[in-house]
């Protein structure tokens, strides 16, 4: 997949992303519904002088879950401890973190759905009763030592909330479901980032970047940096609409944000398989990619844009997919009732 449109964050980009992150709810752009809900929740907790309820942030990568966790800590005037679900492999790892927390501290667990089951079960008691039972020893001689914890706030982030067990999900006092951003909000994010980076950019260029960012602020900031690089090399460093279009064409990002992999899948589906249905493994072989790569990176955006559909009988191209490629849709498009593909 084109690195520019990958919503996941690489190690090299973390420092740049931190510099562009808003520091307060007032600076946070978009997600109006979540913004209002969080503002009310935090204001009420501050007025009572108590830590806020546990918060679950759910949504696709790159929408601002980590940023919101840091904003919550900033708004509450509390320190924040950051870890991730895959890093907590044993219940003892989590017990060590919990026992070192201070009163009112924010514990942020990214990708919380990937925690080990023993750690999840330890977290149930910690979230509800603010204590954990630490087992010392093994076998018949094992003893359980209750350990009291300070009142802390757990902020969990997940890209797959359906994988969270119900007992854990139910212990969060508030769940914020983040949605993809509108183009107008992305344009405001691009403008803010350009100001912070010192990039001179035209209004039309900002709108162009916003419309090609796949509804994701992380992608918008990444495209802005690449367009800035292009402008610095090919002109005086200021970004206009022509340079923006030329840069994105060079990086193979089309008018709606499709990258090389997305277009390869769509072209293969339309031109090689007559719109489908075709199984995932066959489609992967046709474009020389792994089936998992297509399923996790290309398909979600293509389905969201309405260019392809996933059916029990295989992947099919929609009329919108044909039109995006400049092709005329066939009179009879494939339906759910057609013959299934063998490897769907």
Annotated catalytic residue 66: yes
Tell me whether residue 259 is one of the annotated catalytic residues: no
CA gap 248, 300 in Å, rounded: 21
CA pseudo-torsion sign 3, 4, 8, 9: positive
Tokens of 85: 């679900």
Pairing of strands 106-110, 153-158: parallel
By DSSP bridging, strand 308-311 and strand 314-317 are antiparallel
Q: Which of 159, 216, 244, 318 is catalytic?
A: 159
Q: Which of 5, 66, 153, 318 is catalytic?
A: 66
110 is catalytic: yes
- Where in the chain does DSSP place strands (E)? 55-58, 80-84, 106-110, 131-136, 143-148, 153-158, 174-177, 308-311, 314-317
Catalytic residue among 5, 6, 21, 65: 65
Residue 54 CB contacts under 8 Å (≥ 6 apart), including other chains: 127, 153, 154, 155, 156, 171, 172, 173, 174
Residues in contact with 61: Cβ distance below 8 Å, sequence separation at least 6, in sequence order: 7, 8, 9, 159, 216, 218
Check 6, 21, 67, 110 and give the catalytic one: 110
Instruction: Return the sign of the alpha-carbon dihedral for residues 110, 113, 115, 121.
Output: positive
Question: For this structure, is 214 an active site residue?
Answer: no
Pick the catalytic residue from 171, 188, 218, 315: 218
Coil, strand or helix at 226: helix
Active site residue ranges:
65-66, 110, 159, 218
């Amino acid at each position: 997949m084109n690195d520019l449109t990958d919503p996941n964050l690489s190690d090299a980009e973390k420092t740049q992303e931190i510099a562009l992150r808003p520091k307060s709810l007032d600076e946070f752009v978009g997600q109006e519904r979540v913004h209002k809900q969080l503002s009310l929740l935090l204001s009420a907790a501050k007025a009572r002088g108590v830590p806020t309820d546990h918060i679950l942030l759910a949504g696709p990568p790159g929408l601002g879950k980590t940023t919101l966790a840091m904003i919550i800590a900033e708004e509450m005037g509390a320190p924040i401890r950051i870890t991730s679900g895959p890093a907590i492999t044993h219940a003892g790892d989590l017990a060590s973190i919990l026992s070192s927390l201070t009163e009112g501290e924010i514990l942020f667990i990214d990708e919380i759905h990937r925690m080990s089951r023993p750690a999840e079960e330890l977290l149930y008691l910690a979230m509800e009763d603010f204590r954990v039972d630490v087992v010392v020893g093994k076998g018949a001689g094992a003893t359980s030592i209750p350990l009291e914890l300070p009142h802390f706030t757990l902020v969990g982030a997940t890209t797959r909330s359906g994988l969270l067990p119900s007992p854990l999900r139910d212990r969060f006092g508030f769940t914020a479901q983040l949605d993809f951003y509108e183009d107008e909000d992305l344009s405001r994010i691009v403008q803010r980032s350009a100001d912070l980076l010192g990039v001179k950019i035209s209004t039309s260029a900002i709108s162009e970047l916003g419309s090609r960012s796949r509804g994701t602020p992380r992608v918008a900031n990444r495209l802005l940096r690449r367009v800035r690089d292009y402008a610095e090399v090919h002109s005086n460093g200021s970004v206009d609409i022509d340079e923006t279009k030329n840069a994105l064409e060079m990086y193979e990002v089309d008018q709606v944000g499709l990258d090389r992999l997305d277009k390869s899948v769509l072209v293969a589906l339309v031109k090689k398989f007559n719109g489908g249905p075709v199984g995932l493994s066959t489609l992967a072989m046709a474009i020389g990619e792994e089936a998992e790569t297509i399923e996790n990176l290309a398909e979600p955006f293509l389905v969201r844009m309405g260019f392809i559909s996933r059916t029990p009988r295989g992947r099919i191209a929609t009329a919108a997919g044909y039109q995006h490629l400049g092709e005329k849709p066939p009179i009879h498009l494939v339906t759910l009732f057609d013959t299934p593909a063998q490897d769907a």
